Amino acid sequence: MDVWVKQLAVMALLAVADAALPKPARAPLVLHKPFLVVWNAPTEQCRLRYKVDLDLGVFDIASNINETLSGANVTIFYHTHLGYYPYYSDNGDPINGGVPQNESLIKHLSKAKSDIDYCIPMKKFQGLAVIDWENWRPQWDRNWGNKSIYRNKSLEIVRRRHPRWSEDKIRKVAKEEFENAGRSFMNNTILLAEHMRPNGLWGYYLYPDCYNYDYKEHPQTYTGKCPTIESFRNDLLLWLWKESTALYPSIYLDYILKSSPNALKFVHFRVKEAIRVASIARKDYVLPVFVYSRPFYAYTFHVLTERDLVNTIGESAALGAAGVVLWGSMQYASSKESCLTVKRYIDGALGHYVINVTSAAKLCSKVLCKKNGRCIRKNSDSSAYLHLSPTDFKICHRHSERGPRFQVTGELSLESIEAMKQRFICQCYQGWTGIFCELPDQRLLEHWVHVVFSKSRKQSLYIFLLGAMQLLLPLLSAGWSVSGK
């Protein structure tokens, strides 16, 4: 009987807490930094060749030593750098068999092992590990346009083996063979990577995708929402999310979206879908979401406007992403003028905004979540942002030998704290719970109940009620009902 009562007590306490609280998040990559902005552009030539020293101190992670695309902090594996990835060239020539069912998985994994050892020699690597395989998608129905070649070649393989089969049967078998082989390639590759470098945050670039690209065709009626069928297809990729340790969606903005309402819609629903997927991947915590963005509009050298910095970096932070990775190409360091353009942007609007958002996220985590969680919007569709109040804080340039650095001065007012409480809630890190992440996790809670029920019945009930009230009072003071609505 006592065992049953203890279990009931634990379940009751956890039910009260879990009914209102977001699923816990993995602890941040950098201690007490709930939202990271990572610089991931090969800009080392600016310093070495053109004597333009970029001040990357505004970023939480300045990519890697010498500002390369891959290294100790961030490593990207392109399709030519990890194993024997099967694909078709732009000329239609098969590379490594062309389609996954044509390539040896064992041979691929053996080469992938060597590539991981070479690219990430540190056994205790703890950075972002991104696999960038974009030539084909593991789901048959998502290989359209220039990716149709993977369906057509798969059909040819089955048709050659079974020339007398009906087209329906050929299509059915071709789809099964392609999807099974594609799944095996992606799953076994990431499992191998995690086995070799278990502390890395492994995931595939552009996964999950939202496929909300119709802003060009229907700009006036564009909603930004992911098509229902695409969210359903993302659910079918649960096998991939379960093996990933981070998600890396993309929010690159086309120039046509510049400073438009559609830019915000595009980003909002892409990040929201990634966070939804991150929450179903595991039972114990939400996968960290690192959103890939660019400091320039896609395929241009035009810097993002301040409004679009809010639409990308700001929106990602407010929705609960673990960070934003600012990816850049070789063009950033292609000339002295290019380097100076990048430097002016970092020293100006970009650096100023990055400091604003990361400081606000850190402050909100400290004030609202006891440094044991990150602040996320109470209403995900609201316009609340993690920004420093201009009446409370000033972001100033502090000149140094390496150029301007930013310094934040000021104090958080009571009005700003109240505004935070109204607009944001805490998503606790693993090991913490409660409205303000002030309570220990389930294991400690079970220990507490065990201690409680070793006392007299009357005293046990009294302490149990006190514990329940400790959970309930913060909800009520924050204006919540027990159901969290």
Residue 475 or 83, more confident: 83
Average pLDDT over residues 52-56: 89
Nearest to 125 by CA among 117, 133, 137: 117
pLDDT for residue 476 is more than 50: no
Q: Could you tell me if residue 128 is inside a domain?
A: yes
pLDDT digits (tens, 9 = 90+) for 266-311: 999 999 999 999 999 999 999 999 999 999 999 999 999 999 999 9
How far, in Å, CA of 21 to CA of 435, rounded? 7
pLDDT for residue 25 is more than 50: yes
Q: Could you tell me if residue 86 is inside a domain?
A: yes
Beta strands in 124-219 (DSSP E): 128-132, 201-204
Q: Could you tell me if residue 388 is inside a domain?
A: no
Q: Could you tell me if residue 243 is inside a domain?
A: yes
Q: Could you tell me if residue 482 is inside a domain?
A: no
Q: What mean pLDDT is reported for the chain?
A: 89
Which residues, other chains included, contact 245 with Cβ-Cβ below 8 Å and sequence gap of 6+?
Answer: 194, 200, 201, 202, 203, 287, 288
Which residues, other chains included, contact 393 with Cβ-Cβ below 8 Å and sequence gap of 6+?
Answer: 359, 408, 409, 410, 411
pLDDT digits (tens, 9 = 90+) for 328-356: 999 999 999 999 999 999 999 999 999 99
Confidence (pLDDT) at 400: 64
For the annotated catalytic residues, the residue numbers are: 134
pTM of the predicted structure, to 2 decimals: 0.88
pLDDT for residue 120 is more than 50: yes
When pLDDT is cut at 50, 70 and 90, the band that residue 174 belongs to is very high
Question: Residue 170: which domain range?
Answer: 31-365
pLDDT for residue 485 is more than 50: no
- Per the structure, the count of domains in the chain is 1
Confidence (pLDDT) at 474: 46
Q: Are 311 and 359 in contact (CB under 8 A)?
A: no
Confidence (pLDDT) at 62: 67
SS3 399: strand
Confidence (pLDDT) at 1: 46
SS3 125: coil
Q: Could you tell me if residue 395 is inside a domain?
A: no
When pLDDT is cut at 50, 70 and 90, the band that residue 448 belongs to is low
pLDDT digits (tens, 9 = 90+) for 175-211: 999 999 999 999 999 999 999 999 999 999 999 999 9
CATH number at residue 340: 3.20.20.70
Q: Could you tell me if residue 2 is inside a domain?
A: no
pLDDT digits (tens, 9 = 90+) for 59-97: 987 665 655 556 678 999 999 999 999 999 999 999 999
Q: Could you tell me if residue 484 is inside a domain?
A: no
